[in-house]
Amino acid sequence: MSINTIFLFLLVIAAYLNLYLTLKKIRIQKNKTKLPISSKEWREKVEDENFKSWVSNREKLKDKRKDN
């Protein structure tokens, strides 16, 4: 077995390994789950809830002060 045969064998192994890893990467990217809500929408939702909570607490404090 000459040195050229060994190098050819290693080259074939490297090519198949590269093909395998590329296909595996593509398959993983296809199977990524999509989130039902984006991070921007989530942040807006949380800020809106916090604002509503703040307004209601403020109203309760105003009512408490009026009673006293």
Chain position carrying tokens 């595996």: 24
pLDDT, residue 55, reads 92
Percent with pLDDT over 90 in the chain = 53
How far from the centroid of its chain's Cα atoms is residue 67's Cα?
50
Chain position carrying tokens 């309760």: 60
> What's the chain's average pLDDT?
88
Percent with pLDDT over 70 in the chain = 97
Chain position carrying tokens 């009512």: 63
Dist. CA 57–CA 62, nearest whole Å = 9
User: Could you read off the pLDDT of 28-59 as tens digits, one per residue?
Assistant: 777 777 777 788 888 899 999 999 999 999 98
- The pTM of this model reads 0.44
Cα→Cα distances 24→5, 11, 13, 14, 29, Å: 29, 20, 16, 15, 9
